[in-house]
Amino acid sequence: MTASSYVQCRVTPEMKERVRALAKQQQLGESGLLKRLLEMTLSSGAEVHKSDIEQTCRASRTSRLYVRLRPDDQLLLAERAAARGMAGATYVSVLVRSHLRHLPPLPKAELVALKRCVAELGAIGRNLNQVVRIAHESGRITGPGREDLRSMLKVSEGLRDHVKGLIKANVESWESGHESHGN
């Protein structure tokens, strides 16, 4: 297995110099020395149970992760978060969660628009059900005519296409980092 994870900590300048000197004495780099120390510590019999790891991973929502960004990345983050109506930290949190779980997030404004579309489709469905029920009971249709039904179908298809477009734009915007539908 290739080593691809990092273990880091902050130390005083004095401790840093002592580590550097000890590493040089053992003809190692600082990372090599620290890796050797970790291997010795972990192989000494100290056992970590799966439940301990799970408990460590179950951080509360208030836990913090600090990230350093270059100034130009900070500006891009602020712009993109503002375009989504989010705080920068919330945007990063949603973006990381999206990446880890492979789920493009749906911001509040887009969710509200989808709920509105679903409500409209529900109203159209209820109206059509009433027409069908009356037709079955009476044997004839006295409600909406052919043109009315075509209009309802056109509205339903328009809502369907709008929702599809909204979902596609949402996925694309999170993959590219920009909103492509102008919100």
Q: Structural domain boundaries of the chain?
A: 8-46, 64-103, 104-183
Amino acid at 82: A
The DSSP letter of residue 140 is: S
Residue pair 152/144 in contact (Cβ under 8 Å)? The answer is: yes
Q: Is the pTM of this model over 0.85?
A: no
Per-position pLDDT tens, the chain of length 183: 677 777 888 889 999 999 999 888 888 888 888 888 888 777 776 666 666 666 665 655 567 778 889 999 999 989 888 887 788 888 888 888 777 877 767 777 777 878 888 888 888 878 877 877 777 787 776 666 777 777 888 888 888 888 888 777 777 776 665 544 444
> Angle at the Cα of 146 (from 140 to 152), degrees rounded to 5?
110
